[in-house]
């Protein structure tokens, strides 16, 4: 298992808090508790931008907690935060972004096979590297 730097733990805690904030806003919007779509979108954008910046900062380290994972779903994507890495499984936190889709690669309790998470991040990192050039 890789060793994590103190800064990585701080970034993971920040990202986890941002996910909680985004998910709470998403639930309020879905339940129509006085939150318009415009208000929800305005709150969601800076949170999403920061989550992506954290992912970008952690990208050079590969598979570490705090990274974002995306799987295509319907007309959008299912998005998760990598919380912890075990020998065979990883713990993920669902991000209710946009439509809040879920992936069949992740259990309802937020577990995914480590091999699937590794593949997802390798693919995402390769694509990001290709698009950067």
Lowest-pLDDT choice from 12-21, 29-38, 65-74, 87-96? 29-38
Let me know if residue 25 belongs to a domain.
yes
**Each residue's pLDDT tens digit, 81-116:** 999 999 999 999 999 877 789 999 999 999 999 999
Let me know if residue 116 belongs to a domain.
yes
Q: Read off the pLDDT band of 5 (50, 70, 90).
A: low
Let me know if residue 124 belongs to a domain.
yes
Question: How far apart (Å, rounded) are the C-alpha atoms in residues 120 and 105?
Answer: 10
Integer CA distances (angstroms), 126 to 58, 59, 65, 84, in order: 14, 11, 18, 22
Residue 77 buriedness (CB in 10 A; 0-12 / 13-18 / 19+): middle
Let me know if residue 1 belongs to a domain.
no
Q: Which domain holds residue 107?
A: 6-132
Counted domains in the chain: 1
Let me know if residue 52 belongs to a domain.
yes
How many Å is the Cα radius of gyration of the chain? 15
pTM metric for this prediction: 0.87
Q: What is the pLDDT of residue 31?
A: 80
């Amino acid at each position: 298992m890789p060793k994590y730097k103190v800064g990585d733990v701080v970034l993971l805690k920040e990202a986890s808090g941002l996910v909680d904030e985004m998910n709470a806003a998403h639930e309020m919007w879905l339940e129509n508790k006085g939150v318009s779509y415009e208000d929800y979108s305005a709150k969601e954008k800076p949170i999403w931008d920061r989550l992506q910046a954290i992912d970008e900062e952690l990208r050079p380290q590969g598979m570490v907690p705090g990274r974002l994972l995306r799987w295509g779903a319907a007309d959008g994507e299912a998005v998760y935060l990598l919380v912890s890495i075990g020998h065979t499984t990883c713990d993920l936190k669902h991000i209710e972004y946009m439509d809040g889709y879920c992936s069949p690669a992740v259990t309802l309790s937020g577990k995914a096979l480590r091999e699937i998470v590794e593949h997802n991040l390798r693919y995402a990192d390769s694509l990001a590297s290709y698009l950067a050039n």
